[in-house]
Structure 1
Amino acid sequence: MTAHHSLALPNPYYASRVNKRSHAIARLPSIPKNGSPVPHLTSLYHFHDPGDYGDRSYPGNCGGNLIRDLLRYFQPHSVLDPMMGSGTCGDVCLELGIPCRSTDLKTGFDACDADGYQLEQTFDFIWAHPPYWRMKLYSESDRCLSRCRTLDEFNLRYAQFIRNCAQALSPGGHLAILMGDYADRSCGQVPLVYHTKRLAFDAGLDQACTDIIRFSHGATSSRKAYRSSFIPGLHDVCMIFKKAGSLSSGERLVEPKVVD
């Protein structure tokens, strides 16, 4: 065999397969046409731009676009945010012109108070983004859900929080809770989404619509390197519950129809 035959040329078809760059954009299912006032609001929520709401440097901050879209869909006349964090929900309500009461432990308001909320009104919509147990520590106060030492203690106070929210809702009002599952070496996988639904149903609330899977763009964990092997969680879940009663003025019931 001559020397020039020993230098085999690379197979261009193989090279094109193995050298393909991975794409960062996933193709999502088509959205069925319907009468929704927010057509892009579906069970998959993937906006990478958090919007100009709240403080993105605040631990666990949730972008305001999801809150805005939920409010535009349900069209409440009053909103309560009992775990305000950096004030994201309040900023959204200010933009939309919806009266909002925002408060939390920093203002002396305990959302898990066993005596309930001593408020002068009820609310059409409550937005809640509680701690995912001890994933992040938000306060030095023992009253903070992120300071609960055990899952049983967390669920006990979390159940009281959901009951408080149910009592603060107007008939036909909606409670939206953004929650993600949690895992660590001592407790393993903790299904906080499951516990949220279980506790909400125990409080007499009904599920109002499909769960919304929110892609976790900008999570600090995505910028870390881990030595252990695991399947990363890249989302959390927004669950919307409804209090029994007459339909709120903003809720829309759409008859199914065939669209050509």
Structure 2
Amino acid sequence: MSSSACAIRNMTRKDMDIAVEWAALEGWNPGAHDAECFHAADPHGFFIGEVNREPVATLSAVSYGKTFGFLGFYIVKPEHRGKGYGMQIWRAGLDYLKGRNVGLDGVVAQQDNYKKSGFNLAHRNIRYEGVGGGRLPAHGEIQPLAALPFQMVASYDQRCFPADRSPFLSAWLYQPQSTALGVIRDEALVGYGVIRPCRSGFKIGPLMADTPEAAETLFLALKAGVPTSEPVFLDVPEVNREAVALAARHAMITVFETARMYTGVAPDIPLDRLYGVTSFELG
């Protein structure tokens, strides 16, 4: 354990670039505009630890209202690991989210350590990799989300997420270089999805839909705009068998997995409508 003090403070927007770059070095493949969108979710929920003004650790502890929070970006710079800095920033994040049910997507190898901190396994999330391209579905019910009232999308999103995350969505849905589409039936939104550019290829997330057919329509429409030379990733809750089947139908392969865990009871959300997780960092 180092005798040096680790000074922990809130990240500035510029500090977010450090966290995203470290995430890329860890092989997490962040999105091109994740820093802006993530910081908008909760400007007070990102922490950086410094020793002699050198960044040594990062953590996100995003608060979604008074009942739910999510941990991510838990990274200690490799040369500073084993010195206790990670535990210091971890405790700061949990203290910030005190009183809330807190979720995380952790690597499976760390699952036992998270259990020691009070987290309980809910399910696995599987990252699948496929390729872009394909034919755009001839589907008159597909609409750009930008053409729909924001509140319509935010209300639908809250059906599949444990809390209102409107500040985050207002940035995420309209980020540069992304495509965000919804399916409208009888003047109601029955599914929506977003695809964004990442360090490698593109990620779809979230992907939510009332039916497997609507999910597949959105999946095909989103990946159709990606060159066939580019990989496309989809993070699927393993408990949604229709989502797993969708990935299999399109010859996607498993490349990574996480353990979705919560400090409290797993939120009562319809996982059968969640075909793609938004982000392993923010839930």
TM-score above 0.5:
no
Larger radius of gyration: 1
Provide TM-score, normalisation by structure 2: 0.30
TM-score by length of 1: 0.32
Higher relative contact order (CA 8 A, sep 6+): 2
